[in-house]
Structure 1
Amino acid sequence: MHIECNTVVDYLFQQRKQGRPGAQGITLFRNGQLQICLGIGKGSKMVHFKLEESLSKVYSGFINDGKCTIELKLAGGSTCNIIISKANPNHLNELVKILNIIDQQPDRAHEIDLRKNLDGENDEDSENDD
């Protein structure tokens, strides 16, 4: 599942300055261990986070404006905020629903179908238009 938006990855407790927003969007996918991951960027430069291990909080107060922040707890005790902006509010709402399942009912994470595109069709079905 891919969402077109601007993203900034803000590593707290680091001296490094926050970069400019990237416009390549975010992608939800399953890794080799079938864990749900959040990928930022595309290709070999994609940064990914295992949500089932690191998701801490979701701030969705401005979801109708296409904005939300995902707080992650990383290995070693550091914290990372993924700041999402300029997203379609409907697509962002679907993302937040998935994140809430992962956060509040992690035993149901294996039931989430990430193959659905955001218009309600399976990605595989949309490729086979007759």
Structure 2
Amino acid sequence: MRTIKFNPSLSGDAAHLLMGAGAVAAGAGLVLALTHTGSPLRGPLTLFFLLAAPGSAFAAALRGLDTGARVLVSAAGAVCVVMLVAQGMLATHHWSVDGGVVAVGALTAAAFLLQLAYRKGRHKVH
């Protein structure tokens, strides 16, 4: 008897297309939040940016884990980063929506740059 396995994974092209669409949506959320546009998509896309940006930084750092663990840890890490930024801004009485979006974006950019520097330093041949 032969067993047929079903593996519902995305092909390489579809996965890249989905990641690109996510990056565009997150970028649109960032732009809409910082320009105070009155679009009805401003709230959902800004929330997508606030969760997807740090989540992708965590996912890039955790390449050794399987897919399910990466998704779970990345989502939890993204929520923690957003909550810590909000709590820090509230504790120092400097809360603003623009400041929160910029702070999360800056922390995400710093995380990506640290990963890049770490990987470059690791692959350096002496």
Q: How does the TM-score come out when normalised to structure 1?
A: 0.33
Instruction: Select the structure of larger CA radius of gyration.
Output: 2
Which protein has the bigger strand share? Answer: 1
Which protein has the bigger helix share? Answer: 2
- Structure scoring higher RCO (CA < 8 A, sep ≥ 6) equals 1
